[in-house]
Amino acid sequence: MDRTEKREFVAALEKVFAETSFVLVTRNAGMTVADVTKLRRQMRAAGANFKVAKNRLTALALVGTRFEGIKPLLKGPTALAWSRDPVAVAKTAVEFAKTNDKFAVLGGSIGNQVLDVAGVKALSELPSLETLRAGLLGMIQTPATRIAGILQAPGAQIARVLAAYAKKDEASDEASSEAA
């Protein structure tokens, strides 16, 4: 890389750090191209990005950002993963680490909060953002359904009472017709 490419790379990472909510640092020593490609596909499917980055350039891009706390993790062959949905990145990385012994999660950061390996694993066990949204939507819709049912119930009861009176009147009209 020449100086111009390095500056562009640092600028691109600075933009990523400004727009994302979660950055994950991983160790990828000895991974094959096929393994990295498989991981990138899984990350992309989860709505995340995965990039092998030079530690020195990454450290330069971290200066002044809320993710500056992950600098100590940038030793050896590392890669970064990021997304707006922290759970999706953590789940994908932890699951991939279970199947590939050359890939390891080192830690991460949600804003100013630096997470160690245990923190990332705990994050991966949470429900995803989509699952939480679906649950919240279900909770919002349930009371509305109950309210609609309650509002309809008195109307139905009134209709049944009126129907009963109508049948009673019909029966009394038929009885008086038969008596006459």
Q: Distance between CA atoms of 82 and 129, rounded to whole angstroms?
A: 15
Cα separation, 111 vs 117, whole angstroms? 16
Give the whole-angstrom CA distance, residue 26 versus residue 33. 16
pLDDT at 156: 64
pLDDT of residue 173: 67
List the chain residues with pLDDT less than 70.
128-129, 139, 141-159, 161-162, 173-180
DSSP string, 24-49: EEEE-TT--HHHHHHHHHHHHHTT-E
Return the number of other C-beta atoms located less than 10 Å from residue 122's C-beta.
13
Average pLDDT, the chain: 82
Q: How much is the pLDDT for 149?
A: 64
DSSP 68: G
State the pairing for strand pair 78-83/22-27.
antiparallel
What pLDDT is attached to residue 133?
Answer: 74
Q: What's the pLDDT score for residue 154?
A: 64
Name the amino acid, one letter, at 151.
L
Residue 84 dihedral angles phi and psi, to the nearest 5°: -80, -25
* Residue 38, token pair as written in the block: 């498989």
18, 24 Cβ separation under 8 angstroms? no
Q: What are phi and psi of 26, to 5 degrees?
A: -130, 160
The residues facing 105 across adjacent strands are 26
CA distances from 158 to 80, 153, 155, 164 (A): 65, 9, 5, 10
> Torsion-angle region of residue 111: left (phi > 0), alpha (psi -120 to 50) or beta?
left
Residue 180: its pLDDT value, please? 59
Q: Which amino acid is at 119?
A: G
Burial class (CB in 10 A: 0-12, 13-18, 19+), 129: middle
Predicted confidence at residue 152, as pLDDT, reads 65
